Amino acid sequence: MEDRFHSRTVLIVDDHQGLISLIQRCLSREGFRTAFAHSGQEAITWLSHHHADLLLLDLQLADMSGEDLIHHLKQRALTLPFIVVTGQGDERLAVKMMKRGARDYFIKDSSLFELLPSIVAQTFEQIHQEQQLKLTEKTLREERERMTITLSSIVEGVFTNDMRGRITYMNRMAEELSGWKQRDAMGRSIQEVVRFLHSEVNEKDDHPVTHGLDSGLPLHPLNHYSLFDQTKGERPVVYNVSPLRRSDGNLLGAVLILRDMTERIKLNEERLKASKLDALGLLAGGNCT
């Protein structure tokens, strides 16, 4: 028996004390903690003040059916995993309870005490795996959210692409640079969304992402290129392409990063203009002397 299951508590709900005692002895030998209730109301009261990890439930109790007990527990937010124990002839009801969320069901016969410990252990293992899966999904979801926030806040346009060069993600700046909204661009080819006005980088075979996917190598050209913008006509940009790889090294796709050079070019032009004016001023001053 796994050590991590030794602290788990099984609440046995049955109106037959002899059967309860046998089940308790059977489960205790395997290291499980047990508690018991003789009726549905007693189970509700016990669960209102104590914690159980699994319910072992007889479908026919003195004061209510097992189905009614599950309903009452749900109304009180006291839901927990449960296994059904039923008599001969109640198999249809047991199957119905499986559809309502029961983890398994047993028939009260000679095999009950032989199978019960292993089924309870398997149920706890399933619950553990489900909890781990939910934790992993939560962690991945939080990581994706952090990555999305980070990518949305940077000044470069980021386009991720699959192996066919189809867009799988765009950040806010990528939307601004291309004039496309992510919802409209998803699944489209990068050549359709990111269109350069230079013929040598605009055709499919010459597009930077195509080169990156074909070579599997990063591209970091120094020159700036004119990008077609649906809203502003064109923008000067610099780009780089980096391959995206799985942990085993196999190519997954490519990321294209664009930086808008409009302001930098304007600044450089203003600096050049200012330097020319300074030079003319100096020249004029020299002529005056």
pLDDT tens-place string over residues 188-222: 999 999 988 865 555 556 789 998 999 999 988 87
According to DSSP, residue 14 is labeled -
pTM of the model: 0.57
65-94 CB burial, b ≥16 within 10 A, e <16: bbbebbeebeeeebeebbbbbbeeebeebb
208, 223 in Cβ contact below 8 A? Answer: no
Q: Tell me the C-alpha to C-alpha distance, in Å, between residue 40 and each of 11, 55, 61, 115.
A: 12, 12, 7, 25
Taken in order of first residue, the domains within the chain and their CATH numbers are: 3-127 (3.40.50.2300), 142-269 (3.30.450.20)
- Report pLDDT digits (tens) over 231-243: 667 788 889 999 9
**Cα–Cα dist 180/159, whole Å:** 11
Average pLDDT taken over every residue of the chain:
85
- Report pLDDT digits (tens) over 110-147: 788 888 899 999 999 999 899 899 998 888 888 888 87
Whether the per-residue pLDDT at 1 is higher than 60: the answer is: no
- Report pLDDT digits (tens) over 14-54: 999 999 999 999 999 888 999 999 999 999 999 999 999 99
Using only C-alpha atoms, what is the Rg of the chain?
A: 34
Look-up of token digits 């302001």: 263
According to DSSP, residue 216 is labeled -
What is the Cα 126 distance to its own chain's centre?
Answer: 20
User: What letter represents residue 262's amino acid?
Assistant: T
- Report pLDDT digits (tens) over 148-200: 777 777 789 999 999 999 999 999 999 988 889 999 999 999 999 998 886 55
